Structure 1
Amino acid sequence: MTISSTSPESLRIYVDPASSSLHISSLRDRLPVQAPTLFEAKAAKNLTFEDIAKQLGRNEVAVAAIFYGQAQTTSEDAEKLADILGVDKKKLGVQLAGYPFRGQVMDMPPKEPLIYRLYEIVQNYGYAYKAILNEKFGDGIMSAISFSTKVEKETDKDGNNWAVITLRGKWYVRFLERFSGRIDDCEFRLPFSRF
């Protein structure tokens, strides 16, 4: 049994099948050191990610990713963020220094229902996306680093709300396509390569 939520204070309760012992942890336990500082200040000021993003001059998804430890900030962003939230600049600067340790917050497959729906979209449409992207761009990948995303809300004529999530990633062609097609023209060699 697992109970979870996206709130940093929410508890995850689960039974370890191997030992039958009850474990209680929270999302907060898996968040980076800056998360409590950021979330507490955000709640105290009654701000949304959109409010913070407008003042910071960044995308609201990028701002939320900073809170969850999935994005890096510049020192200027850290100072601005401290001003917006009314927290100690030095403390937040130290907490935000370094590099993000991405992917550690979430279970795979995700257990949180909304996040699971996003995972399910990729499960259901992943190969269709891949086929269409390959037809349009050739062999390659869409970057998740040279990347931007946004979330918008649309309301149709019947008053139904629709979530619109845009993913925009730089297209990288398959490595060997940059060369003449002959493996001899490629300077890159894997240590186990026969070629």
Structure 2
Amino acid sequence: MIGAVTRDEITEEIVLARLSKGLTWQQLADAIGRPVVWTTSALLGQHPIPPEQGKVLVEMLGLDPTVVPVLAAVPMRGGLPTAVPTDPTIYRFYEALQVYGPALKELIHEQFGDGIMSAINFSVDIAKKSHPAGDRVVVTFDGKFLPYDWTAAVD
């Protein structure tokens, strides 16, 4: 690589290198001992990758080692190209939260109190489950409950 490259350009290189080398996201995750969803998200630019793990991934993917510090930098998280996702897979998550989000919010408040589920102290997992009507996608969000602390606002 010559000159500075953007995180988006590195992400594109990662995707192309993974495909050309026939590597799975799981193989990359196993190589650094991290969960597959986290590793995939990190390689797609959503989490900083510690330099030692970045070096392993860069070597596996055959990328220039100069990208390791960029991979280790805190990224700009979130942000899809459109306000409403247009990719069908991502849109279904959006749709599911539109339909079930208010119910989940009510149940969180009923069972835990006034607060939110953390997306920082958080893990996510995906699994495939066999079903007679067709394989099922099982997504598990595991976030710490963070109660609102209204007394701190008064001090």
Q: TM exceeds 0.5? A: yes
Aligned to 2:3: none
Moved over 6 A (4+): none
Distance in 1, Cα, partners of 2:120 & 2:136 = 27
Aligned to 2:25: 49
Q: 1:170 is paired with a residue of what secondary structure?
A: strand
Whether the 8 Å CA contact 2:10–2:67 is kept in 1: the answer is yes
Name which of 78, 98, 114 aligns with 1:139: 114
The amino acid across from 1:88 in the alignment is: D
Whether the 8 Å CA contact 1:154–1:162 is kept in 2: the answer is yes
> Residue 72 in 1 paired to residue 48 in 2?
yes
CA displacement 1:64-103 (0-9 Å, x = unmatched): 21222111111111112123223232x2213314211112
**Which of structures 1 and 2 has the larger relative contact order (alpha carbons within 8 angstroms, sep 6+)?**
2
The amino acid across from 1:52 in the alignment is: L
Supply the RMSD in Å over aligned alpha carbons: 2.0
Question: How many Å apart are 1:104 and its aligned residue?
Answer: 2.8
In structure 2, the gaps of 5 or more residues are 1-5
- Which residues in structure 2 correspond to 1:1-195 (within 5 Å)? 32-89=8-65, 91-156=66-131, 158=132, 160-176=134-150, 183=151, 186=152, 188=153
Question: How many Å apart are 1:175 and its aligned residue?
Answer: 1.4
Normalised to the residue count of structure 1, the TM-score between the two structures is 0.70
Distance in 1, Cα, partners of 2:90 & 2:25 = 18
Whether the 8 Å CA contact 1:42–1:85 is kept in 2: the answer is yes
Aligned to 1:18: none
After superposition, the Cα gap between the structure-2 partners of 1:149 and 1:75, relative to the gap in structure 1 and judged at 3 Å, is same
Normalised to the residue count of structure 2, the TM-score between the two structures is 0.87
Whether the 8 Å CA contact 1:31–1:105 is kept in 2: the answer is no
Question: How many Å apart are 1:159 and its aligned residue?
Answer: 6.1
Q: 2:90 is paired with a residue of what secondary structure?
A: helix
After superposition, the Cα gap between the structure-2 partners of 1:147 and 1:107, relative to the gap in structure 1 and judged at 3 Å, is same
Alignment coverage as a number of residue pairs: 150
Identify which range, 135-144 or 65-74, moves more after superposition. 65-74
Bigger radius of gyration, 1 or 2? 1
More helix by share: 2
Distance in 1, Cα, partners of 2:99 & 2:7 = 29
Distance in 1, Cα, partners of 2:23 & 2:73 = 26
Distance in 1, Cα, partners of 2:70 & 2:18 = 16
